[in-house]
């Protein structure tokens, strides 16, 4: 099949070509897929997309005009796709449901440890020949209460790690995951998560019910100085409310790998450009905020798995063996 790969970077090209072994013909394109760039899919059978491609009704209408039959997402989340419209137009959507839950769970823990022990600040100090410890005081994770929202594949991997630190783990998810209970965690209500957690880590998908789950109202129910970690999707947090809570000290630490308006910022070298997003700029002024640019998935193992499953989805589509394809539908 001929596949136009949008939002592609050198590492995508390398991993997809390594897995491809000449089966499909890829054209690697740098731009995001948007209504304006969708016409670049002219002459292809499928598009391959990532988290910040905007696959809304306008994009889908153009893809349909260009004869695209498959959208092969090289990610797990599909909140950026208008699934109902894709279905109506007869365009199938496939994804990579799981590539390395460990990659994301371990990155969430890296944010916790970095924020708590101030390793990012210590790194700079030592380089300046400054070995003073003021401002670097941390706390033991052992014995602290960690609230986990969403206990699917990534949440479960995260629970196992923090349980290993000796944390008390409480969770919220509409579905009980027995593995998580076996790791010693307990399911509780969201209200109990807010009230009891020293650290809250988000691992649920972004959807209407979870959009702005962290907002002024829920922040007010949390412990003073709580640590919030978001490696899931930016839209789970109402950023302006969390900034107010950082200013008042209600939030003591914030670790983000995702940001609601990240599409125009992340995955690019913008070092020569002016930062125009005032909300994001304000976030960067807090010494107790640690932001990474959607890199939680970025391990060798995850890239190889993403490429393998994407290729398997393309193979299954070409063979019309749709049961073997990791299809997403409404």
The residues that touch ligand NAI, with contacts defined as CB under 6 A, are: 76-77, 98, 101, 104, 149-155, 172-175, 203-206, 209-210, 231-233, 257-258, 294, 296-297
Instruction: Please report how close the Cβ of residue 32 comes to ligand NAI at its closest, in angstroms.
Output: 17
Say if residues 55 and 81 touch (Cβ distance below 8 Å).
yes
Say which of 32, 160, 294, 326 is annotated catalytic: 294
Which of 122/263 has CB closer to ligand NAI? 263
CB-closest chain residue to ligand NAI: 152
The HSE-up count of residue 90 (CA atoms within 13 Å, CB side) is: 5
Which of 154/316 has CB closer to ligand NAI? 154
Instruction: Please report how close the Cβ of residue 173 comes to ligand NAI at its closest, in angstroms.
Output: 4
Instruction: Please report how close the Cβ of residue 270 comes to ligand NAI at its closest, in angstroms.
Output: 19
Note if 294 is an active site residue: yes
Instruction: Please report how close the Cβ of residue 254 comes to ligand NAI at its closest, in angstroms.
Output: 15
Say if residues 82 and 93 touch (Cβ distance below 8 Å).
no
Note if 211 is an active site residue: no
| Cα–Cα distance, 170 to 168 (Å, whole number) | 7
Which of 280/297 has CB closer to ligand NAI? 297
Which of 24/95 has CB closer to ligand NAI? 95
The HSE-up count of residue 85 (CA atoms within 13 Å, CB side) is: 13
Note if 262 is an active site residue: yes
As a whole number of Å, the CA-based R_g of the chain is 21
Which of 104/183 has CB closer to ligand NAI? 104
Instruction: Please report how close the Cβ of residue 193 comes to ligand NAI at its closest, in angstroms.
Output: 9
Say which of 233, 238, 260, 326 is annotated catalytic: 233
CA 143, distance to chain mean position in Å, is 28
Say if residues 75 and 268 touch (Cβ distance below 8 Å).
no
**Strand 46-49 and strand 25-28: pairing?**
unpaired
**SS3 state at 81:** strand
DSSP string, 196-215: H-SEEEE-SPPSTTTTT-BS
Say if residues 177 and 156 touch (Cβ distance below 8 Å).
yes
CA distances from 39 to 3, 33, 240 (A): 13, 9, 36
Residues labelled as active-site residues? 233, 262, 294
């Amino acid at each position: 099949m001929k596949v136009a790969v949008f939002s592609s970077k050198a590492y995508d090209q390398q991993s997809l070509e390594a897995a491809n072994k000449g089966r499909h013909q890829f054209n690697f394109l740098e731009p995001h897929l948007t209504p304006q760039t969708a016409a670049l899919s002219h002459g292809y059978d499928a598009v391959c997309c990532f988290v910040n491609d905007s696959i809304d009704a306008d994009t889908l209408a153009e893809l349909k005009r260009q004869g695209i039959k498959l959208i092969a997402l090289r990610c797990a989340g599909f909140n950026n796709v208008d699934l109902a419209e894709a279905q109506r137009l007869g365009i199938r959507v496939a994804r990579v449901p799981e590539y390395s839950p460990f990659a994301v769970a371990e990155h969430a823990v890296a944010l916790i440890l970095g924020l708590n022990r101030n390793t990012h600040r210590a790194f700079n100090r030592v380089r300046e020949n400054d070995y003073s410890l003021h401002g670097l005081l941390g706390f033991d994770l052992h014995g602290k209460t960690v609230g986990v929202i969403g206990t699917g594949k990534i949440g479960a991997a995260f629970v196992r790690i923090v349980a290993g630190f000796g944390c008390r783990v409480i969770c919220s998810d509409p579905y009980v995951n027995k593995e998580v209970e076996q790791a010693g965690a307990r399911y509780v209500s969201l209200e109990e998560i807010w009230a009891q957690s020293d650290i809250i880590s988000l691992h649920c998908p972004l959807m209407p019910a979870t959009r702005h789950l962290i907002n002024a109202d829920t922040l007010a129910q949390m412990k003073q100085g709580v640590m919030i970690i978001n490696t899931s999707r930016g839209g789970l947090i109402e950023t302006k409310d969390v900034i107010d809570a950082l200013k008042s000290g209600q939030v003591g630490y914030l670790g983000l790998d995702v940001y609601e308006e990240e599409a125009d910022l992340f995955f690019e070298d913008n070092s020569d450009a002016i930062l125009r997003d005032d909300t994001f700029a304000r976030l960067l002024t807090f010494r107790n905020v640690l932001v990474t640019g959607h890199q939680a998935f970025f391990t060798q193992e995850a890239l190889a798995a993403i490429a393998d499953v994407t290729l398997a989805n393309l193979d299954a589509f070409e063979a019309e063996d749709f049961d073997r394809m990791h299809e997403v539908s409404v």
